[in-house]
Amino acid sequence: MAMSHILRVCLLGIGLLNLPGSSARTVRKEDTTSAKEPSVLILGGGVAGVIAARTLHEQGIDNFKIIEARGELGGRLTSHTFGAPGKEVVVEAGANWVQGTQTGDGPANPIWTLVQKHGLKTHFNDWFGSITTYDFNGFNNYTDVFNDSEDNYTTLTVVAGARVDKQLTDTTARTGYQLIDAKLRTPQAMASEYYQFDWEYAQTPEESSWIASSWGNNFTYNTDMGGFSDDNQMSLDQRGFKHFIQAEAAEFLQPHQVVYNATVKTISYSSHGVEVTLTNGTTLSADYALCTFSLGVLQNDDVVFEPELPDWKQEAIQSMTMATYTKIFFQFDDKFWFDTQMALYADKQRGRYPVWQSMDHVNFFPGSGIVFVTVTGDISQRIEALPDSQVQQEVLEVLQAMFPHTTIPTPRAFWFPRWYSDPLFRGSYSNWPASFLSGHHENLRAAVGDRLWFAGEATSLKYFGFLHGAYFEGLEVAGAMAKCIQGATCLASELQHVEEVKNAGPYVIVS
């Protein structure tokens, strides 16, 4: 799945003030008397924030500012220059793929549309037709088990759809696997299931909704369900995957409409407007604010709301899950690994350094000497707490197990991002647990009053966790905001909240 970002918006009508106790510098308050045009702060400059800004602009609302904590737009679209001197390659720490592109003249993934518009270099990534399988004894051709896992996942989604038709309760994807008799007992089968499921959702079947994980897949990949295609295009652009959203922003954003290196500390809101305090003591005031922070930031109270968010909003925020997905990069002098694009390693411990991809491949960066492995969930969180040297040693031991007759050399370069511990993200992307109900989703997406609004990949019903989910939410929520600002309708029905999320039927208590 995909990852997200932060925008900042300052125009006429958005005030800059000094906080009590801040440094003694003089800060001018912007003139708010000129046209009394309603003002908007967009908090976060990722895909949701940029597309929200574009939507407001297209609706004739230009008195906005994007407030971005980093020095560039893109949010979780972050790239990293990796490699030894003279052999550097720009790799993607966050979102890396356009997942689902377009089939014929059917619906197009809007990310794919922007990637084509701005000329990004991508290449088809063959996840299922170009793969080599290994286990703790070295090479082991268990592609038959791998293919069975593909079939199991397809069956899982089909049976989930039947449950929706019958209005049956949701449960975990693990229960779903058990009910379709996909009861795994070997490391090879568990690794194959990981490839189908965890590698997509960044959490285990035990932690994931059976129904929501199925529609998340179908609405993106299954054209019979309105999905785009089963194609995955990997970004290889040396400007970074983020370039497509930065180039799109450059077509309409003015310099004064973005504030960079501005981390939000406090958001104060009322029926009259919103005031945002930055960590440097500066405050910005506006009539409206759109919060596009990652779910992880909201869950960890990295931003304080004054007054506290209502109970229904807090319950929704805490009931969704922020998952972590970590790519660990190595560069060696010479390639000694598989010639396929992908490889799967089955360890005795499920999820231990399982999914490998060679960047030293004719379709990607031939001669680069780069290979990376992906981990997710609890293992991602565990390795973030370890020193780089220990993580490197663990992964080299896995490589030695995969290639027992090769002396594994010392890598020229080693690096991985720490998404879970980064206070600007607190994870990679959202995942829908079985206990997260439709009412929770409505409340996660809902505005608080008509001044404080929320959008991001986590608020997307059909595309949570995907990059295109952030796009659609920026588009749709900002469209609803524009109607409110322009006095047509406020709090359209899809953005209203449920005061209390209740069971469909009562539990039966036996005395």
Residue 495 in any domain: the answer is no
**Residue 500: band (very low, low, confident or very high) from pLDDT cuts 50, 70, 90:** confident
Pair (297, 356) in one structural domain: no
Pair (233, 245) in one structural domain: no
Range with lowest mean pLDDT among 4-8, 200-204, 356-360, 387-391? 4-8
- Token reading at 267: 């958001």
Range with lowest mean pLDDT among 27-31, 138-142, 358-362? 27-31
Contacts of 6 (CB under 8 A, 6+ apart): 43, 44, 45, 46, 49, 66, 67, 68, 69, 70, 73, 75, 292, 293, 424
Mean pLDDT of all residues in 191-198: 98
Phi, psi (degrees; rounded to nearest 5) at 285: -115, 150
Residue 277 in any domain: the answer is yes
**Residue 503: band (very low, low, confident or very high) from pLDDT cuts 50, 70, 90:** confident
Amino acid occupying residue 220: T
Pair (146, 215) in one structural domain: yes
Q: Is 405 exposed, middle or buried (0-12, 13-18, 19+ CB in 10 A)?
A: exposed
Choice between 246 and 14, residue whose per-residue pLDDT is larger: 246
424-446 confidence digits (pLDDT tens): 999 999 999 999 999 999 999 99
Domain boundary residue, one of 386, 415, 444: 415
Pair (262, 286) in one structural domain: yes
Pair (437, 400) in one structural domain: no
pLDDT of residue 394: 98
286-318 confidence digits (pLDDT tens): 999 999 999 999 999 899 999 999 999 999 999
**Residue 493: band (very low, low, confident or very high) from pLDDT cuts 50, 70, 90:** very low
39-67 confidence digits (pLDDT tens): 999 999 999 999 999 999 999 999 999 99
pLDDT of residue 145: 98
> Domain residues for 393?
81-238+325-415
Calculate the alpha carbon distances from 142 to 96, 156, 190, 406 in Å. 27, 21, 12, 21
pLDDT of residue 506: 63
Return the CATH number at 221.
Answer: 3.90.660.10
61-74 confidence digits (pLDDT tens): 999 999 999 999 99
64: which strand partners?
A: 40
Choice between 385 and 27, residue whose per-residue pLDDT is larger: 385
Residue 25 in any domain: the answer is no
Residue 109 in any domain: the answer is yes
What is d(CA 64, CA 337) in angstroms, rounded to the nearest whole number?
Answer: 51
Length of the chain: 511
Residue 172 in any domain: the answer is yes
Pair (387, 473) in one structural domain: no
Q: Is 357 exposed, middle or buried (0-12, 13-18, 19+ CB in 10 A)?
A: buried
**Residue 1: band (very low, low, confident or very high) from pLDDT cuts 50, 70, 90:** low
Cα angle 205, 207, 209 (rounded to 5 degrees) comes to 75
Pair (141, 153) in one structural domain: yes
Domain boundary residue, one of 382, 415, 448: 415
Pair (405, 329) in one structural domain: yes
Pair (263, 282) in one structural domain: yes
Amino acid occupying residue 82: F
11-22 confidence digits (pLDDT tens): 223 332 222 233
Residue 130 has pLDDT above 90, yes or no: yes
pLDDT of residue 487: 84
Pair (154, 215) in one structural domain: yes
Residue 438 in any domain: the answer is yes
327-352 confidence digits (pLDDT tens): 999 999 999 999 999 999 999 999 99
Return the CATH number at 260.
Answer: 3.50.50.60
Calculate the alpha carbon distances from 71 to 44, 169, 235, 263, 405 in Å. 12, 45, 22, 11, 46
Pair (337, 439) in one structural domain: no
Amino acid occupying residue 272: H
**Total domains in the fold of the chain:** 2
Residue 21 in any domain: the answer is no
* Antiparallel, parallel or unpaired: β 273-278 and 6-9: unpaired
pLDDT of residue 491: 58
Mean pLDDT of all residues in 256-269: 98
Domain boundary residue, one of 358, 392, 415: 415
What is d(CA 321, CA 491) in angstroms, rounded to the nearest whole number?
Answer: 26
- Token reading at 152: 């199991």
Pair (253, 306) in one structural domain: yes
What is d(CA 442, CA 213) in angstroms, rounded to the nearest whole number?
Answer: 18
pLDDT of residue 11: 27
Mean pLDDT of all residues in 185-193: 97
**Residue 504: band (very low, low, confident or very high) from pLDDT cuts 50, 70, 90:** confident
Residue 8 in any domain: the answer is no
